[in-house]
Amino acid sequence: MPNIKSSERSVKTDAERRAKNFAAKSTVKSAFRKVAEAVHTGKADEAKAFLTNASSTIDKAVSKGVIHKNAAARKKSRLARKVNAMAQ
């Protein structure tokens, strides 16, 4: 435990920030997984619905500063490729 008052406060805020970031990353991973599972099982309609939901979730994480915008674009692109490949 830090001895300096400002360091004690920063430990507390760091823990809060870490918890929020973990929660946001977890929702992104869950959304990604739902799309991948729908593609794997061959459910095209579900995959498209989950893709729009996942894109929205990823964009929210970017706006909160949890993930970088390029990482978000990469994740969305990979999901879209999986869904589009399934349609062909």
pLDDT digit string (tens) for 33-81? 999 999 999 999 999 999 999 999 999 999 999 999 999 999 999 999 9
**Per-residue three-class SS string for 8-63:** HHHHHHHHHHHHHHHHHHHHHHHHHHHHHHHHHHCCHHHHHHHHHHHHHHHHHHHH
- CATH code of the domain containing 48: 1.20.58.110
Percent of the chain with pLDDT over 90: 93
Range of the domain at 47: 5-87
The count of structural domains within the chain is: 1
> Cα(2)–Cα(12) distance, rounded to whole angstroms?
11
